[in-house]
């Protein structure tokens, strides 16, 4: 007798963020197309509403009522992010109470709950995250911690798992989470095959940060400093002199050094070190040797790379 397919229920609330729902859904669609025993279900969040318009105005139709879905042990529920105005609406959250009760029942029956971005607010409002480690999009971490003080909110985490509840940072992290779950359910080889099918160049794990060094220190409007940051990121294997960087943006080395620190709150040397560490760790996680990683980052030896990574880890643990 064939084993019953794994059910994957995708909840589609009004004003849903498209990639939060379509990213994971496409991962599981590809997995099903490759022969994985899956049943994909697209459900409403408010009983009787079988249509939903996304935040991008693309509409979803023929949504099934959540109340008619019965999940078992290991089945999955994906709850995507929605516009923040709805999360601030007590009327909307009250309308979700029947869904929240259904969600608690499915969890008690062994279903695995997965939120993307601000979908964590819906889990929190249902009381499902009380006392648990969780995360959300970096812009909403303070708000979710303030509104639901019983949560153990972790910052700068791609996704977090605690007692069969996954919470993720949002947007593309939903794809990372879907691939992670596929790997747990169907093995690393199958997950890698699906990642290749959806052209995911670098599969991120639970330990990866939401924002790495390539995205940090970019929240400014100085185009000259952005240009320098681009040059550094694109030439990690080279030892680019400060004089060369300064000439590219028509500044003196001294003025560039001063302006870079003032604009980014970090020195050029420390910025380069963070870029190299971030890139090296990614390469090592993908199976590169220490020597290959060191060469790619423009470091003279593997010992130098080890020292940089060790120093970075010590600094992270100390605060």
Q: Is 33 exposed, middle or buried (0-12, 13-18, 19+ CB in 10 A)?
A: exposed
- Taking residues 3-24, report their average pLDDT: 94
- Taking residues 93-121, report their average pLDDT: 97
Q: Is 241 exposed, middle or buried (0-12, 13-18, 19+ CB in 10 A)?
A: exposed
Q: Which pLDDT tens digit goes with each residue over 272-291?
A: 988 888 888 878 877 888 89
Domain ranges of the chain: 6-197, 223-317
- Taking residues 40-66, report their average pLDDT: 96
CATH T-level fold of 223-317: Arc Repressor Mutant, subunit A (1.10.10)
Mean pLDDT of the chain: 88
Q: Where are the alpha helices (DSSP H) in the chain?
A: 18-33, 84-87, 90-95, 97-108, 119-125, 141-147, 173-186, 188-197, 223-234, 242-248, 253-264, 268-285, 290-296, 302-317
Q: How far apart are CA 150 and CA 162, in angstroms?
A: 14
Which residue has better confidence, 158 or 116?
116
16 — pLDDT class (breaks 50, 70, 90): very high
Lowest mean pLDDT among 10-19, 40-49, 113-122, 204-213: 204-213
Q: Which pLDDT tens digit goes with each residue over 245-270?
A: 999 999 999 999 999 999 988 999 99
pLDDT at residue 208, rounded to an integer = 57
Q: What is the CATH number that goes with domain 6-197? A: 3.40.50.880
Q: Which pLDDT tens digit goes with each residue over 203-250?
A: 555 555 545 566 667 767 788 898 898 889 888 888 889 999 999 999
69 — pLDDT class (breaks 50, 70, 90): very high
75 has pLDDT over 80: yes
Q: How far apart are CA 313 and CA 74, in angstroms?
A: 35
Q: How far apart are CA 77 and CA 59, in angstroms?
A: 20
- Taking residues 284-300, report their average pLDDT: 85
Q: How far apart are CA 151 and CA 94, in angstroms?
A: 20
Q: Do domains 6-197 and 223-317 have the same CATH topology?
A: no
pLDDT at residue 238, rounded to an integer = 82
- Taking residues 50-64, report their average pLDDT: 95
103 — pLDDT class (breaks 50, 70, 90): very high
134 has pLDDT over 60: yes
pLDDT at residue 317, rounded to an integer = 45
Q: Is the pTM of this model over 0.75?
A: no
195 has pLDDT over 70: yes
């Amino acid at each position: 007798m064939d084993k019953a397919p794994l059910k994957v229920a995708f909840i589609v609330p009004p004003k849903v963020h498209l990639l939060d729902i379509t990213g994971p859904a496409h991962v599981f669609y590809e997995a099903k197309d490759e022969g994985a025993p899956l049943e994909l279900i697209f459900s409403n969040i408010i009983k009787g509403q079988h249509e939903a318009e996304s935040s991008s105005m693309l509409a979803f139709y023929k949504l099934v009522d959540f109340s008619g879905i019965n999940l078992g042990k290991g089945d999955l529920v994906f709850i995507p992010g929605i516009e923040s105005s709805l999360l601030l609406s007590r009327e909307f959250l009250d309308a979700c109470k029947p869904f929240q009760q259904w969600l608690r029942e499915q969890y008690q029956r062994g279903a695995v709950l997965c939120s993307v971005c601000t979908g964590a607010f819906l889990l929190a409002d249902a009381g499902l995250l009380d006392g648990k480690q969780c995360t959300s999009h970096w812009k909403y971490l303070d708000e979710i911690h303030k509104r639901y003080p019983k949560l153990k909110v972790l910052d700068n985490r791609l996704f977090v798992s605690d007692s069969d509840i996954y919470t993720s940072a949002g947007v593309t992290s939903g794809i990372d989470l879907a691939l992670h779950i596929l790997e747990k359910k169907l093995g690393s080889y199958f997950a890698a095959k699906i990642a290749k099918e959806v052209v995911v160049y670098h599969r991120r794990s639970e330990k990866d940060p939401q924002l790495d060094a390539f995205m940090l220190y970019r929240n400014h409007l100085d185009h000259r400093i952005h240009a320098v940051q681009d040059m550094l990121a694109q030439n990690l294997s080279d030892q680019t002199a400060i004089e060369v960087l300064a000439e590219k943006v028509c500044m003196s080395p001294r003025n560039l050094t001063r302006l870079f620190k003032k604009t980014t709150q970090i020195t050029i040397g420390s910025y380069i070190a963070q870029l190299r560490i971030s890139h090296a760790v990614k390469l090592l996680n993908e199976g590169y040797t220490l020597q290959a990683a060191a060469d790619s980052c423009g470091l003279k030896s593997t010992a130098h790379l080890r020292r940089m990574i060790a120093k970075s880890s010590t600094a992270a643990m100390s605060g």
